[in-house]
Amino acid sequence: MNCYCGPMCIFIIVILIFPLCLRLYRKLFLVKFAVKNKVSLVGKTVIVTGANTGIGYQTALECAKRGARLIIACENKPLGTKALETIIKTTGNKNVIFKLLDLASLKSVRSFADDVLKNEERLDILINNAAVLMRGNEMTSDGFQLEMQINYISPVLLTLLLIDMLKKSSPSRIINVASIAAKYAKNFTPETINSYTDHISSYANSKLGNILFTQELGKKLKDSNISVFSLHPGITNTGIAIKNFNPIFRVCAAIFSRVFFMSPEEGAQTTLYTALEQGIERFSGCFFEQCKVAKPYKTATNPALAKQIWDVTLNLLKYDEDKIR
């Protein structure tokens, strides 16, 4: 057989075929969860932080579709309101509200929680989804490393402030969206929780914080009917990573990530799985990936560290652990 297909031609075919196969695989296997699972959220209240865009938006949209009372929590009012309008229009569910939540400010977290405690009747699912990247070299007015506060410290405070309400509404769930980046955590200790070395370990350490907090909280809540899960959503094309790049690099990165990364809808599946799937309560404290329990990364297999980080975090927040029981 004559074959005129040289190396260049094979290269081009691979370049074209590979992304197509990848997309097809994702379409067939990944978006399935939300399609298969029929759990209704009528009568339930769900909070999604960072619900204005990306995975958070898709998560919120699916919860609204299922009839939940949905609270969109984010720091950008125009974007939050826009997401609210789109979600109401798409789902027909008018029981959707926006509340301002700036995770870079503990005061904002407290007033958000107060507002929820005062004005809501219940809380069934809290989804700590919001996160930032490449902001570790900034400080907040609370005196914390900005990225650590937004990704880890503030979500911890928010969760603790809402625990009683989750308890009253139980069975209920807390979902902490972490990341595979936690693998690359470096020198994350009670002493370094607030220090900055570089962008990668900054993000990785905050995401390891999410996983360790989930483990420890799972232990504390084992006699309650609140389940807590952390997860890796998959490498998703949400724009979070490229928000701070220069324009030319951003265009290339945007094209690359459209081809190789998951869409936000696909990226929301593991979050939705941990929020909705029945019968996974026994895995409380665990870490999930691709809609199943996953082995935690080596960096997250130190129960003593989980306890130390828990202690120092509650200390920083001046939060008395006895309030959880």
Ligand X SMILES: *[C@@H]1O[C@H](CO)[C@@H](O)[C@H](O)[C@H]1NC(C)=O
Q: What are the catalytic residues?
A: 203
Q: Are 139 and 146 in contact (CB under 8 A)?
A: yes
Pick 172 or 263: Cβ nearer ligand X: 172
User: Can you tell me which residue has the tokens 């407290």?
Assistant: 110
List 108, 111, 224, 257, residue binding ligand X (CB under 6 A): 224
Pick 95 or 224: Cβ nearer ligand X: 224
Q: Is 170 in the site for ligand X (CB under 6 A)?
A: yes
Q: By CB under 6 A, which span of 81-89, 108-116, 222-230, 244-252 interacts with ligand X?
A: 222-230
Q: C-beta of 10: minimal distance to ligand X in Å?
A: 59
Map residue 280 onto helix, strand or coil. coil
Map residue 64 onto helix, strand or coil. helix
One-letter amino acid of 10: I
CA angle 165, 99, 285 (to 5 degrees): 45
Q: Are 73 and 112 in contact (CB under 8 A)?
A: yes
Q: C-beta of 118: minimal distance to ligand X in Å?
A: 23
The helix or strand, by DSSP H or E, that contains position 231, with its residue range, turns out to be strand 226-232
Q: Is 225 in the site for ligand X (CB under 6 A)?
A: yes
Sign, CA dihedral 87-91-92-96, equals negative
Q: By CB under 6 A, which span of 219-227, 229-237, 243-251, 253-261 interacts with ligand X?
A: 219-227
User: Can you tell me which residue has the tokens 């969860």?
Assistant: 33
Q: C-beta of 225: minimal distance to ligand X in Å?
A: 4
Pick 225 or 257: Cβ nearer ligand X: 225
The site that binds ligand X (CB under 6 A) totals a number of residues, namely 4
Interface ranges with ligand X (CB under 6 A): 170, 223-225
